[in-house]
C-alpha cells in the first residue's frame, strides 16, 4: 500500500509516534481503483498533513474536535479544525488539477542501501535456516485473521489459499 500512497504524496516521519500509521479502507480502495483507471480521481488533491505536536493546549487536533452527541446520522455536522499540527485535506480545483495515474508503480527501496539478499539474511525478519517453507499453525492463522480483521468467508479463503500454496 505504501507504493500506492507515495504516488499521491511522499510518506515521511513514519518512525515518529505522532504520525498516522494506517490508511482508511476507503482511501485504500480509491487509490487502487485510481491506479487501475477505474476511478477518475481521489476525493482530495492533497491529503491531511500531520506535523509534530508542539503545543498540547491549543494545537491538539484530537482534543479540539468536539464529537460528543454525534452519531452516524448527524456526523456530517462535525466541524473539523485546521491546526498547524494537522492541516486539513485540500480538494481538487483549478489550482490543483486531477493527476493522471502513473503508467507503472515504483517499488519502495530500503533506505539503508541494503540489497534484498542482505535484508533476507537479517535476523529481524526471522527467516528459517533450513530453506523449506513452514505452514502456518492454526493458532498463527487465527492470529493473522484476527489482526487483519477478516470476515469469516475471507478467512476461509485465506486458509484454503495458504493450504494450497507451495514455494
Q: Give 25-81 pLDDT, tens digit per residue.
A: 887 888 888 888 887 777 777 777 777 777 777 777 767 777 788 888 888 887 777
* Domain count across the chain: 1
Establish if 115 belongs to a structural domain.
no
Establish if 18 belongs to a structural domain.
no
The per-residue pLDDT for 114 is 55
Q: Which three cell numbers stand for residue 57?
A: 493546549
| Cβ pair 61, 99 in contact under 8 A | no
Main-chain phi, psi angles of 87, to 5 degrees: -90, 125
SS3 state of residue 31 = helix
Which H or E run includes 54?
none
Main-chain phi, psi angles of 77, to 5 degrees: -85, 0
How many CB atoms are located within 10 Å of the residue 87 CB?
A: 15
pLDDT at 1 over 50: no
Nearest to 50 by CA among 76, 89, 24: 89
pTM of the model: 0.41
Establish if 166 belongs to a structural domain.
yes
Tallying the residues shown for the chain, one arrives at 167
Q: Which three cell numbers stand for residue 12?
A: 515521511
How many CB atoms are located within 10 Å of the residue 31 CB?
A: 20
Q: Residue 143: which domain range?
A: 134-167
Amino acid at each position: 500500500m505504501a507504493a500506492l500512497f507515495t504516488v499521491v504524496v511522499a510518506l515521511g516521519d513514519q518512525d515518529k509516534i505522532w504520525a498516522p500509521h494506517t490508511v482508511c479502507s476507503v482511501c485504500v480502495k480509491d487509490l487502487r481503483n485510481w491506479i487501475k483507471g477505474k476511478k477518475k480521481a481521489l476525493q482530495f488533491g492533497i491529503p491531511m498533513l500531520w506535523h509534530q505536536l508542539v503545543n498540547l493546549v491549543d494545537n491538539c487536533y484530537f482534543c479540539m474536535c468536539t464529537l460528543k452527541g454525534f452519531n452516524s446520522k448527524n456526523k456530517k455536522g462535525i466541524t473539523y479544525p485546521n491546526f498547524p499540527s494537522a492541516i486539513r485535506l485540500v480538494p481538487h480545483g483549478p489550482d490543483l488539477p486531477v493527476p493522471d495515474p502513473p503508467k507503472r508503480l515504483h517499488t519502495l527501496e530500503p533506505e539503508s542501501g541494503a540489497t534484498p539478499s542482505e535484508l533476507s539474511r537479517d535476523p529481524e525478519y526471522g527467516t528459517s535456516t533450513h530453506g523449506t517453507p513452514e505452514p502456518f499453525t492454526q493458532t498463527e492463522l487465527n492470529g493473522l485473521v484476527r489482526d487483519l480483521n477478516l470476515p469469516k468467508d475471507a478467512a476461509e479463503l485465506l486458509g484454503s489459499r495458504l493450504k494450497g500454496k507451495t514455494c
